[in-house]
Amino acid sequence: MQYSDWMLTVSERGNRFTRLDRRHADGAAWTRGNDVRPLVHGAAYFAELLGAVRAQRAGDLLLFTDWRGDPDERLDGEGSEVSRVLGEAAQRGVIVKGLVWRSHLDKLQFSETENRHLGEELAKAGAECLLDMRVRPGGSHHQKLVVLRHPGRPELDVAYIGGIDLCHSRNDDAHHGGDPQAVPFASAYGRRPPWHDLQLAVRGPAVGDLEAGFRERWEDPSPLSRSPGVRLRELAHHEDTHADPLPPQLPDPDPCGSHTVQVLRTYPNRLLRGYPFAPDGERSIARGYLKALRRARSLIYLEDQYLWSPNVVGFFARALRENPELRLMAVIPTLPEQDGRLTLPMNLVGRVAALEELRRAGGARVAVYGLENPEGKPVYVHAKVCVIDDVWAAVGSDNINLRSWTHDSELSCVILDDSVDGREPADPAGLGDKARGFARDLRLELFREHLDAPEADAPYAPDDLCDPVKAFDAFSERAAALDAWYANGRRGPRPPGRLRAYEPPDMSRLTRTFAMPLYRLLVDPDGRPHRLRRHNAY
């Protein structure tokens, strides 16, 4: 397998101003020798993060970015509130620096107050957390990252990246009972919305890349906001608006595993004054997907919060049309997080159009599912995962939509494993790349949860689920059994499995006509320069 067959080269990233690639002595756009572990669900991530932060000592470094941060969110029980844990680290002498999206107003169902309070609480303890509004109008910083560095103890260095913010609703586990500290949500999810999510624990040289990406944002000399109203609020609340210098970056951790990792980002074409590290924006997440999709032959597996935007999904549809044996499976939320009379159609119309595009291209080779917990309550899918042919795996903050590929800031990792997985089919795509351990194991871990299938539960044991066709059929069978149980009045024992076949709602022509412009303007805007929009290029 050639890494350049699946990963972007330096020139293909399309952003010569970033130092991510030129910092590598070998000139590659990725790092080798990493160890990456998936932490499925917030409970697993939060518990590990808590232990890692509490092990830090004076002179260590903690860097984090968030879309939302709730100071009172408990990582693992009483006394483990986010602001307390990070504040205690700062009081021990750990250098704690954070970048949190300033957010829109709370009355618009965002998190302006919570994010500001997190910064205030950390400042009292000697940490520094800035509210960053250096985005396009209507945009956000959506990256979720924690980097822990340890001078003199590089074996402890680790970065956590994925879809999980340090905030309410994220602390759930495989049972999906929901986080007791929940955010307001669509009524169908109940008072404690069940939450499915994923974070990566990355060790090895890629930690240096993720830290370098944080530093690019931290060292941006642009004001945190250009809005006069926001500047007044900064003054009124005595906010810190100037980033203090960071200590020099340590050498990258030594190689420690078999995983090659590429860090991908989205930054928009920011109006008036661009980012110094991406003056024309960066769309390497989109470019990374487009390159990998050209090699897809057997199975694309997605878990995605949104899966909307017809012109983004069109690239998946093209792969389906060009490869008649290719299948696509997606796990998405059964319902959007907002159910208002205006917001619900805006959040549905893009998905309806996207799924129509996929099904036109792939027909019965496309299967889309929602999740429910053992009690029958819908599970909100917040994960952002893609596995292609058990070779290429991507996990990050980005969703399959135009906003994530062009408009908001996003952060993702692509993983290629040097270790071959010998189980059959040994080469699902038939291109000679062979199945790889990380991608296949990640897919199987997620499949076993959704199927309620322990390791030895034939025909859903791992060796059987390695086969793309058998895996595709397993989802279909379990979803059909559960759907039939509901259709028959829930008589008898509930069939095993968490899967429900997703059927998009009927939307009248009038509703679509009304909702589509709002969807394009507010829900899924385009952050590309006009020259790229004209050709739907990235």
Tell me, yes or no, whether 410 lies in a domain: yes
Biggest CA pair distance of the chain:
65
Contact 90, 127 (CB under 8 A): yes
Using CA atoms, how far residue 194 sits from 27, 167, 188, in Å, is 44, 14, 11
Residue 294: DSSP 8-state: T
Burial 397-409 (b: 16+ CB within 10 A, else e): bbbbbbbbbbbbb
Tell me, yes or no, whether 17 lies in a domain: no
Tell me, yes or no, whether 444 lies in a domain: yes
What would the DSSP string read from start to end of 63-80?
Answer: EEEES-B-TT-BSSSTT-
Structural domain harbouring 472 = 282-523
83 shares its domain with 143: yes
Write the CATH number for 516.
3.30.870.10
Q: Per the structure, how many domains does the chain have? A: 2
Q: How many helices (H) and strands (E) does the chain have?
A: 16, 18
Question: pTM for the whole thing?
Answer: 0.96
Q: Token pair of 528, please?
A: 């590309």
Contact 435, 425 (CB under 8 A): yes
Strand partners, 139: none
* 3-class DSSP assignment, residue 71: coil
Tell me, yes or no, whether 493 lies in a domain: yes
Tell me, yes or no, whether 16 lies in a domain: no
Tell me, yes or no, whether 8 lies in a domain: no
* 3-class DSSP assignment, residue 56: coil
Tell me, yes or no, whether 270 lies in a domain: no
Instruction: Give the separation between CA 438 and CA 433, rounded to whole angstroms.
Output: 14
Q: Token pair of 375, please?
A: 């009690």
Per-residue confidence of the chain (538 residues) as pLDDT tens digits? 899 999 999 999 999 999 999 999 999 999 999 999 999 999 999 999 999 999 999 999 999 999 999 999 999 999 999 999 999 999 999 999 999 998 745 444 445 666 678 988 999 999 999 999 999 999 999 999 999 999 999 999 999 999 999 999 999 999 999 999 999 999 999 999 999 999 999 999 999 999 999 999 999 999 998 777 777 776 777 787 899 999 999 999 999 999 999 999 999 998 777 899 999 999 999 999 999 999 999 999 999 999 989 889 999 999 999 999 999 999 999 999 888 777 889 889 999 999 999 999 999 999 999 999 999 999 999 999 999 999 999 999 999 999 999 999 999 999 999 999 999 999 999 999 999 999 999 999 999 999 999 776 777 888 889 999 999 999 999 999 999 999 999 999 999 999 999 998 888 989 999 999 999 999 999 999 999 999 999 9
User: Position 138: which residue type?
Assistant: G
Task: Label residue 104 exposed, middle or buried (CB < 10 Å: 0-12, 13-18, 19+).
Answer: middle
